[in-house]
């Protein structure tokens, strides 16, 4: 069916009044009706990078805050997503969501090595109430989390904030179930010692 307007609405859908003169009536020809109904069945199109980002950005930013803190989370996410999209492997990856989680974790490792001392200075300077409202956490718990390794923080976040089972955590960050269980045990033990 043709339209007499070329305006585009949300997500590129053409809007306008149908132009009945441009579309011949098919009520008299059952063959035309059958052909029209089979021609318009299309396989669902794959999700674009933009749509994927819109879907997963909120959970990725929360994960990034856990890994590097609120001040660097957006930079970490931007860097990780840019590297993921630029990667030649990205188009071939089946689970792009898990791939983005792994890219965030890898970028957090690099960030911690290069900016660890700066982050510690920021935590001492930032007002404790601002941290608490940012995460909804007790400032002492947040400070204790900062003393864990990046992988331990990732496992804690995905287990307690994202509510994933250990196998799902392993799948998300691309490691073994045994590693997740070990890191989770070590993180709990360390947090108990720090907060005691």
Q: How far apart are the first and last CA of the chain?
A: 71
Instruction: List pLDDT tens digits, range 12-50.
Output: 444 444 444 544 545 555 555 555 555 555 656 667 778
CATH of 49-195, one of 1.20.140.160, 3.40.47.10, 3.40.190.10, 2.60.120.260: 1.20.140.160
Phi, psi of 7 (to 5 degrees): -70, 145
**CA-based Rg of the chain, rounded to a whole angstrom?**
25
* pLDDT tens track for 129-183: 444 444 456 677 778 888 888 899 899 989 988 889 999 999 998 889 999 999 9
The label of the residue with tokens 């930079």 reads: 75
Is pLDDT of 119 > 60?
A: no
Helix (H, G, I), strand (E, B) or coil at 107: helix
Domain residues of the chain, as ranges? 49-195
In eight-state DSSP terms, residue 1 is -
CA angle at 34 for the pair 29 and 35, rounded to the nearest 5°: 95
Measured distance CA(191)–CA(196) in Å, rounded:
8
CA 141, distance to chain mean position in Å, is 24
pTM: 0.53
Q: What pLDDT, on a 0 to 100 scale, did the predictor assign at position 3?
A: 46
Whether 69 shows a pLDDT value over 50: the answer reads yes
């Amino acid at each position: 069916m043709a339209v007499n307007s070329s305006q585009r609405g949300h997500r590129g859908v053409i809007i306008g009044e149908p132009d009945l003169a441009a579309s011949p009536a098919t009520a008299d020809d059952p063959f035309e009706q059958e052909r029209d109904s089979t021609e318009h069945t299309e396989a669902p199109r794959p999700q674009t990078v933009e749509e994927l980002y819109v879907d997963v950005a909120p959970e990725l930013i929360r994960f990034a805050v856990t890994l590097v803190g609120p001040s660097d989370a957006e930079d970490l996410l931007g860097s990780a997503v840019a590297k993921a999209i630029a990667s030649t492997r990205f188009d071939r990856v089946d689970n792009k969501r898990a791939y983005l989680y792994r890219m965030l974790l890898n970028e957090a490792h690099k960030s911690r090595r290069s900016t660890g001392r700066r982050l510690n200075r920021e935590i001492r300077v930032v007002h404790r109430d601002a941290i608490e409202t940012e995460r909804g956490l007790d400032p002492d718990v947040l400070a204790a989390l900062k003393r864990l390794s990046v992988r331990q923080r990732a496992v804690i976040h995905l287990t307690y904030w994202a509510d994933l089972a250990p196998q799902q955590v392993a799948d998300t960050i691309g490691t073994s179930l045994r590693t997740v269980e070990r890191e989770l045990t070590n993180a709990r033990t360390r947090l108990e010692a720090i907060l005691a």
